[in-house]
């Protein structure tokens, strides 16, 4: 299982109503740092399958979600738990730092 694509159509079901914590990666195809952490996000999705959901939101395709989250810089990582934002981090991060965002929530 790799990360899932999150859009305005499935945001409520996959994120807000999720029984598991959800790690969201706001990214864009033209963003260098986003490309850098993309494989790490997919690796985390595989390693933590069943414990946490991992989704990617393309800000170009889902501008409403980006605006709703106040995204002004990408990559931006948000962790949702119980339908609310628990943690957020702006900018590229190491795998260890990304895991630290959600490890205490699973």
State the Cα–Cα distance between residues 10 and 37, nearest whole angstrom: 23
Active site residue 34: yes
- What dihedral do alpha carbons 66, 67, 69, 72 form, nearest 10°? 80
Active site residue 31: yes
Among residues 34, 52, 76, 92, the one annotated as catalytic is: 34
Nearest to 80 by CA among 99, 105, 56: 105
Among residues 31, 40, 93, 101, the one annotated as catalytic is: 31
Catalytic site positions:
31, 34
């Amino acid at each position: 299982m790799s990360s899932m694509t999150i859009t305005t159509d499935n945001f409520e079901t996959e994120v807000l109503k999720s029984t598991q914590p959800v790690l969201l990666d706001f990214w864009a195809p033209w963003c260098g740092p986003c490309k850098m952490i993309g494989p790490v996000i997919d690796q985390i999705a595989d390693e933590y399958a069943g414990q946490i959901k991992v989704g990617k939101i393309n800000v170009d395709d889902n501008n409403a979600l980006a605006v709703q989250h106040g995204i002004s810089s990408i990559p931006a990582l948000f962790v949702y738990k119980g339908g609310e934002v628990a943690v957020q981090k702006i900018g590229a991060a190491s795998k260890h730092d990304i895991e630290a965002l959600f490890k205490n929530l699973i």
